[in-house]
């Protein structure tokens, strides 16, 4: 078994790897440069047709529900907010350059959709950030598969053979989990704590300190996405929803039915975006 310290050192230096697309490195530099204005960042994104396409496609999709057509990157950044836009673009770019994880991408999109709808029903304000937290909740699996492909393939194989949860196999092989790995990398990439905490604790929502409601939403959405058959998170099991998350969200049966209905409808309308990663 690899130890946690070794794993952390390896994944925290992901941005130095040739396997990480250059655009991810450029995105990190642009969004983290305090001297760049919103207009500067918009100009940077606009200069890349792929980034422009992904961002405008996302903003105009059923994901966010903005009325009318958003045609400029500046407008898209204003509507999403820089935190959500940065997370969205990084997630899309990392997934787009990682082959063999199409089912994980589908599960991530499903979780993102459920998270946004759930956030609305729970009365939370930053639903765009909830969508992005849902989209990135399993990105630690991508980081592990990039940096330790043989070991992660073994983890997936063992999980399938044993019929267990992937997170339990990760603990056995890596001495940590994809959720913790995501937290390490996204902290190093300077994503907002409002995104990182729900991602890091989506399997243990009771541990969230500042973003307890948002973490409960991502946890709930991950489970619902699994139960709905939206792609695959690396195993064939559906975990129980954490009691603390149930209590924190306090959703009625009617609200849950609405969440399921609206999420499934949105999934059916997102084929163009799903194909873009």
Domain that includes residue 36, residue range: 4-274
CA-based radius of gyration for the chain: 18
Looking at every residue in the chain, the average pLDDT score rounds to: 87
| HEC assignment per residue over 81-99 | CHHHHHHHHHHHHHHHCCC
- Number of domains observed in the structure of the chain: 1
* 102-126: b (≥16 Cβ within 10 Å) or e: eebbbbbbbbbbbbbbbbbbbebeb
The values of phi and psi at residue 47, to 5°, are: -75, -15
Q: What is the pLDDT of residues 81-110, one digit of tens each?
A: 888 899 988 888 888 777 888 899 999 999
Confidence of residue 171 (pLDDT cuts 50, 70, 90): very high
Q: Which of 95, 136, 156 is nearest to 221 (CA)?
A: 136
Q: Residue 173 pLDDT > 90, yes or no?
A: yes
pLDDT at 1: 61
247: domain CATH number is: 1.10.3210.10
- The confidence band for 244, taking pLDDT boundaries of 50, 70 and 90, is very high
- Among 64-68, 142-146, 177-181, which range has the highest average pLDDT? 177-181
Per-residue pLDDT reduced to its tens digit, 27-84: 888 888 889 899 999 999 998 888 888 788 878 876 776 656 788 999 999 888 888 8
Considering only residues 137 and 30, tell me which one the structure prediction assigns the higher pLDDT. Answer: 137
Sorted by sequence, the CB contacts under 8 Å of residue 259 that are 6+ apart come out as 114, 117, 118, 121, 224, 251
Q: Would the CA dihedral through 147, 84, 168, 234 be positive or negative?
A: negative
Q: Which residue has the higher pLDDT, 199 or 22?
A: 199
Please write the tens of the pLDDT for every residue from 2-24: 777 777 877 776 655 445 567 77
CA distance 193 to 191: 6
Q: Given this model, what pLDDT does residue 194 score?
A: 92
pLDDT of residue 65: 66
């Amino acid at each position: 078994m690899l130890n946690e310290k070794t794993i952390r050192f390896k994944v925290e230096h992901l941005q130095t790897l040739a396997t990480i697309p250059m655009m991810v490195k450029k995105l990190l530099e642009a969004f983290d440069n305090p001297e760049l204005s919103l207009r500067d960042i918009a100009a940077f994104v606009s200069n890349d047709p792929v980034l422009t396409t992904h961002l405008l496609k996302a903003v105009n999709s059923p994901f966010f529900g903005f009325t009318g057509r958003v045609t400029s990157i500046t407008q898209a950044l204003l509507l999403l907010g820089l935190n959500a836009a940065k997370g969205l673009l990084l997630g899309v770019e990392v997934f787009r350059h990682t082959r063999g994880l199409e089912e994980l991408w589908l599960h991530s999109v499903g979780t993102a959709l459920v998270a946004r709808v759930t956030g609305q029903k729970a009365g939370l304000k930053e639903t765009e950030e909830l969508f992005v937290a849902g989209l990135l909740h399993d990105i630690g699996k991508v980081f592990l598969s990039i940096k330790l492909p043989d070991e992660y393939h073994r983890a997936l194989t063992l999980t399938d053979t044993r019929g267990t949860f992937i997170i339990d196999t990760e603990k056995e092989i890596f001495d940590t989990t994809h959720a913790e790995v995501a937290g390490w990398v996204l902290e190093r990439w300077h994503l907002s704590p409002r995104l990182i905490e729900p991602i890091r604790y989506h399997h243990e929502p009771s541990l969230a300190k500042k973003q307890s409601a948002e973490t409960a939403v991502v946890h709930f959405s991950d489970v619902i996405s699994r139960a709905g058959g939206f792609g695959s998170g690396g195993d064939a099991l559906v975990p129980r929803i954490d009691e603390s998350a149930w209590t924190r969200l306090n959703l009625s049966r009617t609200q849950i039915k609405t969440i399921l209905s609206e999420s499934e409808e949105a999934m059916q309308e997102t084929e163009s975006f799903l194909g873009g990663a």
